[in-house]
Amino acid sequence: MADRKIITVFGATGAQGGGLVRAIAADPAGGFAARAVTRDVDSDKARALAKLGAEVVAADVDDEASMRRALEGAYGAYFVTFFWAHFSAEKELAEARSMAHAAKAAGVHHVIWSSLEDVRRFVPLSDARMPTMHDKYKVPHFDAKGEADRFFTDAGLRTTFLYPSFYWENLIYFGAGPKKGPDGALYFTLPTGNAKMAGVAAEDIGRVAYGIFKAGDAYVGKTVGAAGEHLTGAEMAAKMTRALGREIRFNGPSPDEYRAYGFPGAVELGNMFQFYRDFEGPVNAVRDVARSRALDPQLLSFDQWLAENAAKIPLE
């Protein structure tokens, strides 16, 4: 352990951080050791990480002193914030600010910050193409992450900005899977028209992050996306049809129609999908699949992900 570089991983019991801890644990000769951060070291997920050989430590992003302790002696840190735990862009900004402060205080050599585009740089608040939310955001959970980049740069931290893509697991856990229409047929709804959307197996985000740490300083100061494939909604529906053996029809409402569905988060997600649709070029360019694969040779395509996971997609 002493001769290995410690990477402190926030969100270690979650999707992104968990993938990184497992990638480090799977490569014992790689020269890195994972320090997994959780609020509850006794949870089943935390114990599973300890079993893999990770050091598991308690810290809470709301308690900066605990974060500093978790970062003490670390070479690297993986930071991800927890928007869906509180739905607050302000809180997400505060979390990122604390992370940057704590990393600076601990003298961390290389930070990976799990960021996203500040959509307001593409669609200013004055632009009526998509509604403004809470008077200051277009896509709060994107904008806050992008705005928070400056906490890391201003602190002089050697940072790689990692942009995840749409997790294909959203089809299982986030209500994004096919739904039965009034005619009894199954419809996969995505308001992205003919645009190809970057998607990824959540586990690959952490594996890409591991590739970035392994590359030394090559990606310091750079923005790197993680994507397994860029696909239209119709292509995703066709692949699900083959994997599930059930016809999945593509339903492509406009972003306005999607926002009007009215479920909690419909406006935010409608804006997000509109961003994916209207800025397909730059969004997918940064989420380069070949580069993701170079950093993560195990990177899954959508077909490969479906082969492992299709049976878990609820068909309502």
Ligand X SMILES: NC(=O)c1ccc[n+]([C@@H]2O[C@H](COP(=O)([O-])OP(=O)(O)OC[C@H]3O[C@@H](n4cnc5c(N)ncnc54)[C@H](OP(=O)(O)O)[C@@H]3O)[C@@H](O)[C@H]2O)c1
Give residues in contact with ligand X (CB under 6 A). 10-17, 38-40, 43, 60-62, 80-85, 141, 164, 166-167, 170
Cβ nearer to ligand X, comparing 83 with 113: 83
Burial class (CB in 10 A: 0-12, 13-18, 19+), 285: exposed
How many angstroms separate the CA atoms of 110 and 15, rounded?
A: 21
Q: How many CB atoms lie within 10 A of CB 167?
A: 21
Amino acid of residue 25? A
Smallest distance, Å, CB 167 to ligand X? 4
Residue 203 or 278: the one with the smaller Cβ distance to ligand X is: 203
Q: How far is the CB of 232 from ligand X (least distance, A)?
A: 17
- Which is closer to ligand X, CB of 46 or CB of 186? 46
User: To the nearest whole angstrom, how small is the minimum distance from the Cβ of residue 86 to ligand X?
Assistant: 8
The Cα angle at residue 84 between residues 81 and 279, in degrees rounded to 5: 80
Residue 159 and residue 149: Cα distance in Å, rounded? Answer: 9
CB of 178 to ligand X, least distance (A): 17
Reported as type and span, the H/E element at residue 284 is: helix 280-286
Whichever of 31 and 240 has its CB closer to ligand X, that residue is 240
Shortest distance (Å) from residue 82 CB to ligand X: 4
Which residue's CB is nearer to ligand X, number 83 or number 152? Answer: 83
Strand pairing category for 179-180 and 110-114: unpaired
Please name the residues in contact with 165: beta carbons below 8 A apart, sequence gap of 6 or more.
197, 198, 199, 200, 225, 226, 227, 228, 287
**Shorter beta-carbon distance to ligand X: residue 13 or 271:** 13
Q: Give the Cα separation of 246 and 231 in Å (integer).
A: 20
Could you tell me the smallest distance in angstroms from the CB atom of residue 29 to ligand X? 26
Nearer to ligand X, 63 or 128 (CB): 63
Cα–Cα distances in angstroms (integers) from residue 237 to residues 233, 244, 283, 293, in the given order: 6, 10, 21, 24
Q: Provide the minimum distance between the beta carbon of 200 and ligand X in the complex, in angstroms, as a whole number.
A: 8
Give the number of other CB atoms < 10 A from CB of residue 8: 30
Cross-strand pairs, 189: 251
